[in-house]
Amino acid sequence: MRYISQLALQDPETKMVFIAGPRQCGKTTLAKNILDQPFGGSGIYLNWDNTKHRKLTLAQGWTDDQKLIVFDELHKYKRWKSLLKGIYDVERDKHAFIVTGSARLDIYRRGGDSMLGRYHLWHLHPFTLDEYPENLSAEEAFRRLMEFGGFPEPFIKADRRFANRWRRERFERLLTEDIRDLENVRDISLIGLFAEALKSRVSQPIALANVANDLEISPKTAKSWLAILERMYLGFSVYPFAPKNVARALIKQPKFFFFDNGDVESDIGAKFENLVACHLLKRLQYVSDSEGERNELRYLKDKDKREIDFVVLRDRKVDELIEVKYADSTISKSLITYTKLLKPRLATQIVSQLDRPYTKDGIRVMSVLDYFSNKVW
């Protein structure tokens, strides 16, 4: 069972459960495992991509004794929100509902009626250092995450040839199926080139105007396409943080990270930063989903080129500053400066390997294995 399973199992008794996340990160497997749990009756799994299942969904062809109903990829139906709202409002006393999807169920604009107040949202992420199969050591899990990424199939097989083929096929399906069906994009091949251009820019603030110029598209189109790639869970943006007492902080250019670490085509340092970014986002979204806290992941960079890789905000206040260095355990000067200035609860430098963690002037220096060894779930 995955890390959100136990808490997600409690929610169908009160509201619908939405499980959102990247394509092939394990949402369907999780939903089917939940179906095997006791709900006072049987359940039914309905996948919108299956013709028979689609007809059953539209005809509401389930029985009263099927207490748990799982809708998979229902967001591909243009009027999915109205359909689901009507079903839930009429039948919520008879059934529990789980809805999974690889586009952002919480914000996706297609469909009419609002679902506000009718569901709890859970985000499912690929494997990380605080969640991986028990038969592996932490060191082996880290090696696989860096080389193959955290998606279950390539991570478990740990075969480079398989991982390369899996990654290409996933990327092509995302472009030719998900984006084609759900978004108004005229040139699918060009948005594919846009996504490819981001792979070599991981860990860098992205000047969308420059990317747009390279592809001969407008900056407005580039901004729109970045949002599409986020909605399709290819990756996520981390935006700059500009505290009031930092007058020269950047305020516009986002960084873009990929959910699949294998997508990163930059150097090893950028690949390592991408891995840490995915881990941090997974933790923060878990806490937000389970506890209702308002958490944000940002970065800080000023015009003097002093940079903090990640700023963790809790209720809009700086909670932790995190610097990521693949091989350098010497504390970053930028981290020292901004720790004194912003006075976070925690300040941490994460490195790939470290014989012995240490703390100096309130700043922790830790290996990535130590930092993510304490599970939050």
Q: Assign residue 32 the CATH number of its domain.
A: 3.40.50.300
Q: What is the mean pLDDT of the chain?
A: 91
Do 111 and 213 fall within a single domain? no
Mean per-residue pLDDT, 224-239: 94
Mean per-residue pLDDT, 67-80: 91
Is residue 27 a part of any domain in this protein? yes
- Rounded Cα distance between 131 and 146, Å, is 15
Do 211 and 329 fall within a single domain? yes
Is residue 138 a part of any domain in this protein? no
What is residue 167's predicted lDDT score, i.e. its pLDDT?
96
Do 210 and 347 fall within a single domain? yes
Question: Final residue of a domain: which of 90, 123, 156?
Answer: 123
Do 240 and 115 fall within a single domain? no
Do 265 and 363 fall within a single domain? yes
- Say what percent of the chain tops pLDDT 90: 72
What is residue 224's predicted lDDT score, i.e. its pLDDT?
92
> For the segment 182-217, what is each residue's pLDDT rounded down to a tens digit?
777 777 889 999 999 999 999 999 999 999 999 999
Determine the distance from the C-alpha atom of residue 176 to the mean position of all C-alpha atoms in its chain, rounded to a whole number.
21
| Residue range(s) defining the domain that contains residue 242 | 197-371
What is residue 271's predicted lDDT score, i.e. its pLDDT?
97
Is residue 133 a part of any domain in this protein? no
* Beta-strand relationship, 42-47 and 66-72: parallel
Residue whose entry in the numeric block shows the structure tokens 């009419």: 112
Question: Final residue of a domain: which of 65, 94, 123?
Answer: 123
51 exposure class (CB count in 10 Å sphere: 0-12, 13-18, 19+): exposed
* Beta-strand relationship, 363-367 and 358-360: antiparallel
Q: Residue 194 is encoded by which pair of tokens?
A: 């846009």
Is residue 137 a part of any domain in this protein? no
What is residue 115's predicted lDDT score, i.e. its pLDDT?
73
Do 110 and 247 fall within a single domain? no
Q: How confident is the model at residue 41 (pLDDT cuts 50, 70, 90)?
A: low
Is residue 187 a part of any domain in this protein? no
Minimum mean pLDDT range among 5-19, 104-118, 258-272 = 104-118
Overall number of domains in the chain: 2
Nearest Cα residue to 146 out of 163, 134, 133, 161:
163
Do 360 and 228 fall within a single domain? yes
Nearest Cα residue to 348 out of 311, 293, 294, 299:
311
Residue type (1 letter), 87: I
Question: Final residue of a domain: which of 67, 88, 123?
Answer: 123
Q: How confident is the model at residue 40 (pLDDT cuts 50, 70, 90)?
A: low
Mean per-residue pLDDT, 311-317: 95
What is residue 183's predicted lDDT score, i.e. its pLDDT?
73
What is residue 111's predicted lDDT score, i.e. its pLDDT?
47
Is residue 148 a part of any domain in this protein? no
Do 207 and 294 fall within a single domain? yes
**Is 339 strand, coil or helix?**
helix
Do 241 and 352 fall within a single domain? yes
Mean per-residue pLDDT, 48-68: 94
Is residue 321 a part of any domain in this protein? yes
Residue pair 150/261 in contact (Cβ under 8 Å)? The answer is yes
What is residue 112's predicted lDDT score, i.e. its pLDDT?
47
Do 220 and 363 fall within a single domain? yes
Is residue 103 a part of any domain in this protein? yes
Do 88 and 228 fall within a single domain? no
What is residue 51's predicted lDDT score, i.e. its pLDDT?
96
- Rounded Cα distance between 182 and 194, Å, is 18
> For the segment 82-137, what is each residue's pLDDT rounded down to a tens digit?
899 999 999 999 999 999 988 767 655 444 446 778 888 999 999 999 999 999 99
Nearest Cα residue to 85 out of 15, 181, 7:
15
Minimum mean pLDDT range among 25-34, 180-189, 336-345 = 180-189
Residue whose entry in the numeric block shows the structure tokens 């490819």: 196
For CA atoms 271, 276, 280, 282, the dihedral sign is positive
Do 113 and 210 fall within a single domain? no
